[in-house]
Amino acid sequence: MFLPAGLKESPVMPHADSLLLAELEDEIRRQVLAVAARKLEDAQEFARKHSISRAYGSYEELARDPDIDVVYVGNIHPYHLKACLLFMNAKKNVLCEKPLAMNTNEVKEILDSAKRNQVFLMEAVWTRFFPVSVEVRKLLAQREIGEVKMVRSEFGIPLLHKPRLVEKELGGGALMSIGMYCLQFVCMVYNGERPESIQATGVCLETGVDETVIVTLKFSEKRMAVFTYSSSIQLPNDAIIVGTKGTIQIPARMWCPTSLVVNGKETQYPLPEPGLPQNFHNCTGMRYEAEEVRKCLLKGLKESPVMSHSDSLLLVELEDEIRRQMGVVYTQDSQ
C-alpha cells in the first residue's frame, strides 16, 4: 500500500468542485504506486499483473522513492527487522506482515525505530480488522455475554510440504505462522491483559521447530483460555468465547472470519468480491487492515488503537515464552 502525494485544494474552488476533488484525492491516495523484490524480474512481473507503475529490483530503491508514503513489508519474518529498519530510517510509514519479528528483542528494536523516526508502524494482524472482529469487540464492550470466563480457539492445517513452515532458518514453526492467530485472538478478547500463567505442551519436528501444540493461559479473576495449533493436521479451526450470560462463536477459518454466532443466532459478514484469483481463503479481507492504516495516517496517528505497539509487544513476549517451553530456538535468539 503506497500513497503518493495528494492533490492541493484551491481556496477559490466552488463547494461542489471541492467535493469532487476530495473524492479524486481519496482515490489517488489508495493507489499502489510501486513494488520491490530482490529480483527485478519478479517485481516487474508482479507490477504487470496488478497494473503497478513502478518496479524495483531492491528494497533500497523503493526506500529512496520520494513519492512512497506507506510500505507494506510482506517478505518472510526472518527478514522483517532489516526491511522495517530500512524503510523507517527512510521516513516511510510501515505496515509489516505478522509476526512483526522473530523475538522480543527484534520487536523492541523495530518499535524504537518507529518512535525515533516518528513514522507510523503496525503489525499486519489482518484478522483484527475483519467486520466479524469489529463486532466481537463491540459485543464484549457491551457485555453482551456477561463476564468472559473462557476462550477457546484452534487453527490447524497440513502445511509440512511448505519449507517456510519446516525449516528453522526460514522462521519455520507453526506458532509463528498460524498459532499466533489463536494467541492474538485470546489477547484481543482479554483486551491486552497479560496472563498470570501460560503453559505449552506439544511436539516438534526433527528440524527443531514446533509442529502441534496446546497452550493454556490463566488470567486474573479465574478466567481461562486454551488454544491448539498444528502444521500437520486439520483442526476445526473455530473459536468460542464463553461468558456468564452466553457465548460468541466464530465458525471455521477463525483467522479470516465471515460469520458470527451469538447465543445461537448466526450473522453473515460477506467479503468484497475479488478482482483476480485468490492465493488463499478470503484474502480480499486484507483490505480492511489497509484501510485501518489509511485512517490512522489521516488522523496523524503513529500506531493503530486496534493493533497497537503494546499489543505487538505482548504478543511476541508470549510467543517467546511458548517457544521457550517447547525448546524452539532461532539463530536470532542469540544475537
Q: What pLDDT, on the 0 to 100 scale, is given for residue 1?
A: 39
The secondary element (H helix, E strand) that includes residue 131 is helix 131-141
Of 28 and 7, which is predicted with more confidence? 28
CA–CA gap between residue 169 and residue 82 (Å, rounded): 15
DSSP helix/strand/coil, 309:
helix
* CA geometry: angle 330, 61, 102, nearest 5 deg: 15
pLDDT single digits (tens) 169-228 = 999 999 999 999 999 999 999 999 999 999 999 999 999 999 999 999 999 999 999 999
pLDDT number for residue 267: 98
C-alpha cell at 49: 499483473
Please compute Rg for the chain using Cα positions.
Answer: 21
d(CA 69, CA 191): 30
Mean pLDDT across the stretch 250-268?
98
Tell which CATH classification among 1.20.1740.10, 3.40.50.150, 3.40.50.300, 3.30.360.10 matches the domain 127-272+307-334: 3.30.360.10
Average pLDDT rounded to a whole number, residues 138-163: 98
Average pLDDT, the chain: 92
Q: What are phi and psi of 2, to 5 degrees?
A: -135, 120
pLDDT at 96 over 90: yes
- Rounded CA-CA distance 74/71 in Å is 9
Structure confidence by residue, pLDDT tens digits, 269-315: 999 998 888 888 999 999 999 999 999 999 999 999 999 999 999 99
Q: Where are the domains of the chain?
A: 127-272+307-334
The pLDDT of residue 226 is 98
Q: In the prediction, which pLDDT does 276 show?
A: 83
Distance of CA 263 to the CA centre of its chain: 28
Instruction: Reply yes or no: is the peptide bond before residue 270 cis, omega within 30 of 0.
Output: no
Quick check: 85 pLDDT over 90? yes
| Number of residues assigned to the chain | 335
Q: What is the pLDDT of residues 239-255, one digit of tens each?
A: 999 999 999 999 999 99
Give the CA angle between residues 225, 230, 231 to the nearest 5°: 150
Q: Where are the beta strands (DSSP E) in 184-302?
A: 197-204, 210-219, 223-230, 239-243, 246-250, 259-262, 265-268
Q: What would the pLDDT profile of 309-323 be if each residue is shown by its tens digit?
A: 999 999 999 999 999
pLDDT at position 3: 37
280, 282, 283: which is closest to 268 by C-alpha?
A: 282
Contact 154, 235 (CB under 8 A): yes
| Cα 41 to Cα 48: distance, rounded to the nearest angstrom | 10
- For Cα atoms 295, 298, 303, give the angle at the middle one, nearest 5 degrees: 65
CA dist., res. 99 & res. 92, Å (int): 19
pTM here is 0.90
